Structure 1
Amino acid sequence: MREYKNNFIKADALFSKTLLSLAVVYSANTLSVTPTVSLPKGTSIGSTSFFDGFSGDSSGLTYLLYIQRENGTSLKDNEGKNAAPFDSPNLDVTIAINQIDYKFEPNESGNSFGITALLPVVSFDATFGSNGPTLYDNGTELGDLTISPYLQFSPVIKDGHPIFSHRAAVDVILPTGGYDADKDFNQSNNYVTLIPNWSFTILPAPRVEVSGRINYVYNFENSEPAGSSPMDWNGGAVSDTQAGQAFYMNFATSYEIFPGLRAGLNGYYLKQLTDDKVNGDTLADSKEEVLGVGPGVFWSSKDQNTNVWVNTYSESMVENRFRNELKLQFRIAQKF
């Protein structure tokens, strides 16, 4: 049980991927497109899993590296059906994230303040069939910087072992990454996003762990919407867009096979709560939704200073975004 007390470093807001909400209308030989309005690509959807409520007993510096691969093979509309205008859409996303986390010494109550920063490198490879419209990506660039102050609460102890641990944080995604106003898929959101979140881990029985992270997403305006096609809104120019507010949750449970190695299930669920906006007007039927579930494993070194997560997901209940047949993530945390 000692491992529960000394490891499982915080891994906040991971760069997720492009979330897309498009409305395409054919008129004679002309293609008119509403501006692309998307939820932030810096959300941590699916990036955290086992032992998410822990961040280690000791203070100090931790380095984390994420490698994520996503394969979007179909673009879904607001009814969860394949978007009719697109022929064989495919969006491959490769993401490498460097994260630095620093936790201060605990106060008299045993609670610890900390701060973490994440900077991703994101590579897009978008391909489309010969029929219908084609969307264009921005290649490989740095993504948006995420800064997240947090408070790690003192764990609840029973019979000398922790049985519950939790943390509160606010992720601030800053528009610092690559952004081309003539491209459909960009590394940067080009707007600020705030994501207050709460992470927890429950240890209900020997060898069993249950974790989750609840997030609320608020997005500010994008004053320079991007798109490869001319954008039109009610016959006029497009000056700004705003992605809707959203809720999402990461969840996981694992079982200890033998000391240092666990296996289990991990997943996420996202539900957009309000429609996107264009020039302050509501973009009807633009809410996104997705459920991802799959197996995962967790390994911790004997000294508990090195921790490794491998998570896989397959998506369903997809609306207004690309569906990933397979989403794979590798994460390693090294305590110094």
Structure 2
Amino acid sequence: MKRICSLALLAGLTAGQAYAYDLPTVNLGLTSFLDGGLPAGPGWYAQEYLQNYSASQLNDQNGDKLGLPKSKLHYQVSVTQLSYLSQQRLGNASLGINMLLPWVSRMDMDDGLNHAALKSQSGMGDLMVGPFIQFDPVMGDNGPRFVQRLEFQVNLPTGEYDRNKDINPGSNFWSLDPYWAGTYWFTPKWTASVRFHYLYSFKNSDPSYAFGDVGSTQAGQALHANFASEYALTPQLRVGLNGYWLKQITDTQVDGKDVEGRREQVWAIGPGAMYSFSQDDHLFANAYFEQDVKNRPDGSRVQVRFVHHF
């Protein structure tokens, strides 16, 4: 869950230097309210995400626009998620599994040079699979007070990738992205949720042409999180704020050597809402506006998400 499009490797024009956005797809804002638990107990869940992302510029390590006539990015992506929460118990928790598959249906990149500097493609993204442990909620006098989940997510390099493209839906390398998610009820109507990930990427043995004649690249380690708080105006309608944060904490490596100046960072915040048609059907709408962006696109995203429990 991501930056949905893996903005993997961007070639720059300044002083022959290869500008690259190295991290794989991760969950940036896909999940928000009531994230610590599943809404309707054991069984199968289907979720569909539709997201629109627009960036007015691509930023360098100082947070400034890359040295191109234009650096605009616009993409649309859908993510299909299947989840299963089993009856298998592990102490005070149940075991389950998540599977997510992104599809980038539209990818528009404008470098102001008729794609002479930046080339992109749409298509299938990387499959994400994660076994998880869903803990039972801690109950209070007026309902749940706290619920949490642990998941060991693995990102598989199954997506579309072309080393001669600067922007690909797939990353062409394996990565591990485990997380902890929790929701706390301040009152029966007011909650706060957080999801915290640690990202470790393995080597790409067929790296982008932007790096020149090298044998491998390896994106640096990163931390990223989603956070949200909402209030129930009615039993069906909740409104609040949602956001995300990402920071790369180690350097990208090229042929095993650290390369400085490529660490990514961003945070974003915006409004959101959730409408529950029933205990089994829920609709989310979220908007995010990015801040303090380095070595990444600088823009905003809007998404809708539908959850159904069979």
Range of TM-score over shorter length:
over 0.9
Confirm or deny that 1:203 pairs with 2:191. Answer: no
Confirm or deny that 1:34 pairs with 2:18. Answer: yes
In the alignment, is the contact (CA less than 8 A) between 1:74 and 1:90 conserved in 2?
yes
Normalising to structure 1: TM-score of the pair?
0.87
- Give distance in 2, aligned partners of 1:106 and 1:56: 18
Tell me the residue number matched to 1:143: 125
- Give distance in 1, aligned partners of 2:207 and 2:295: 18
Secondary structure of the residue aligned to 1:244 is coil
- Give distance in 2, aligned partners of 1:132 and 1:113: 47
The CA deviation at 1:18 is 3.4
Secondary structure of the residue aligned to 2:129 is strand
Q: 1:85-127: per-residue Cα shift (whole Å, max 9, x none)? A: 2112111111111111111015273411000111111131111
The CA deviation at 1:134 is 2.1
What is the aligned counterpart of 1:272 among 210, 229, 248? 248
5+ long unaligned stretches in structure 2? none
The CA deviation at 1:80 is 0.9
- Give distance in 1, aligned partners of 2:140 and 2:90: 20
**Which of structures 1 and 2 has the bigger CA Rg?**
1
Secondary structure of the residue aligned to 2:82 is strand
- Give distance in 1, aligned partners of 2:164 and 2:7: 17
- Give distance in 1, aligned partners of 2:84 and 2:131: 10
After the TM superposition, which residues 233-248 of structure 1 pair with which residues of structure 2 at under 5 Å, given as runs? 237-248=213-224
The CA deviation at 1:226 is 2.1
- Give distance in 1, aligned partners of 2:47 and 2:14: 46
Letter in 2 for 1:38: D
Q: 1:80 to 1:252 in 2, by over 3 A?
A: same
Tell me the residue number matched to 1:126: 109
Tell me the residue number matched to 1:312: 287
- Give distance in 1, aligned partners of 2:260 and 2:175: 22
The CA deviation at 1:17 is 2.6
After the TM superposition, which residues 169-208 of structure 1 pair with which residues of structure 2 at under 5 Å, given as runs? 169-208=151-190
Confirm or deny that 1:217 pairs with 2:199. Answer: yes
Q: 1:19-64: per-residue Cα shift (whole Å, max 9, x none)? A: 456574556xxxx3437351011x1111110000011352111111
In the alignment, is the contact (CA less than 8 A) between 2:142 and 2:188 conserved in 1?
no
After the TM superposition, which residues 1-336 of structure 1 pair with which residues of structure 2 at under 5 Å, given as runs? 13=1, 16-19=4-7, 24=12, 26=14, 32-34=16-18, 36-41=20-25, 43-83=26-66, 85-105=67-87, 107=89, 109-122=91-104, 123-130=106-113, 134-138=117-121, 140-159=122-141, 161-227=143-209, 231-232=211-212, 237-301=213-277, 303-324=278-299, 326-336=300-310
5+ long unaligned stretches in structure 1? 1-12
In the alignment, is the contact (CA less than 8 A) between 1:35 and 1:238 conserved in 2?
no
- Give distance in 2, aligned partners of 1:293 and 1:286: 24
Counting aligned pairs with the same residue, the percent is 35
Q: 1:283-333: per-residue Cα shift (whole Å, max 9, x none)? A: 1111111011000000111x3110111000000100001101x20111001
Question: Which moved further from structure 2: 140-149 or 101-110?
Answer: 101-110
Q: CA RMSD in A?
A: 1.9
Number of aligned residue pairs: give it. Answer: 309
Question: Which moved further from structure 2: 57-66 or 305-314?
Answer: 57-66
Q: 1:72 to 1:18 in 2, by over 3 A?
A: farther
Secondary structure of the residue aligned to 1:51 is coil
Normalising to structure 2: TM-score of the pair?
0.94
